[in-house]
Structure 1
Amino acid sequence: MGVRTRHATADLRMRRCAAEFVRRVSARSRLPLDYSVDSLGVVDFIVDEMRGEGREPADAGRVLFELGAYTGEVLVRRVGAVWVEFDPEQRELFGRPVGVRTPDGRLWNPLGKVVRRFETGGRESVRALYREARGLPRPSPPRRPGPVRGR
């Protein structure tokens, strides 16, 4: 199987996974999974809820994979990325079989980003992944007001 065929297969498989996840979740809840950039905040929220419930990674694996597929599909639709099958070296580096390549040639690992959010909490964010993939600067933390000086 050639590289192009592998990438097309990865693309089809991951798009279907994301679409099925959205269909299933939308049938049960009103979560706004519409492939918008704002919906990535919903992904972070879902992962945080699962983490807060004390779920084990093995029990959450399927949903985390689907959330990663959804996140990657947002990058495909909003940044112009394409799904790619990683080569053996990239698989070892990312720990995943697939990811996305942005138009500038960089590779991204949305599946791994979702898992890291689950494992480490708020230090990882799929919204931040989007900003990085778009080449946007990270938002500055809010400034704390300094002490009030004499009047």
Structure 2
Amino acid sequence: MGERLGELGLPEASGMRAYAAEFVQQLAARNRLPFDYSVASLRLVDRVVDGLRRNAPERAEIDAVLQGLGAYTGEVVVRRAGGRWVDFGTEQRELFRQPVGVRMPDGRVWNPLGKVVNRFEAGSEESVQRFYLLLHGRARKSVCH
């Protein structure tokens, strides 16, 4: 699953939808996982990351998979919550340690790729599904994740 995606690296924001679709297609070719861009499918992202953690690989070995899962997560946010992919500026790249993220209609910027990495590094206290569910109903203050 990772060789081709790892060689390609992450595209700019304009290419993230296609990148996520290619990742899902490659994943579906190997496994029968229901990655259907639904909010419920984000629970599956948590489970896949947990499975990766159990095998205790070096992070470099699975970076392409984590990037693909992060792109998928971001695409769910784009499709279900009205966000759009954006290229991060220099300061945001340093803060989020990612080149792209999702900007919501209210201007908040989110880091779904980083959230997946956090799930891998921290475990169940960092939930990708919870990340999505908390996008709605927040106070008006600007919060970045």
Give the structure-2-normalised TM-score. Answer: 0.85
**What is residue 55 of structure 1 aligned with on the other side?**
57
How far apart are the structure 2 equivalents of 1:135 and 1:102? 13
Query: How many residue pairs get matched?
Result: 129
Report the secondary structure of 1:100's partner residue: strand
Deviation at 1:50, TM superposition (A): 0.2
How much identity, in percent, do the aligned residues show?
58
**What is residue 140 of structure 1 aligned with on the other side?**
none
Q: Which amino acid aligns with 2:70?
A: G
Deviation at 1:83, TM superposition (A): 0.2
Query: Which residues in structure 2 correspond to 1:28-107 (within 5 Å)?
Result: 28-107=30-109
Determine if contact 1:102/1:133 at 8 Å carries over to the other structure.
Answer: no
How far apart are the structure 2 equivalents of 1:45 and 1:62? 17
Determine if contact 2:73/2:128 at 8 Å carries over to the other structure.
Answer: yes
Q: Which amino acid aligns with 2:74?
A: G
Deviation at 1:11, TM superposition (A): 3.3
Structure 2: gaps of 5 or more residues:
1-10, 139-145
Structure 1: gaps of 5 or more residues:
1-8, 137-151
Deviation at 1:135, TM superposition (A): 2.6
How far apart are the structure 2 equivalents of 1:70 and 1:93? 21
Structure number with greater Rg is 1
Give the structure-1-normalised TM-score. Answer: 0.81
1:128 to 101, 108, 130: 130
Deviation at 1:55, TM superposition (A): 1.3
Q: Which amino acid aligns with 2:90?
A: P
Deviation at 1:109, TM superposition (A): 0.3
**Alignment root-mean-square deviation, CA:** 1.5
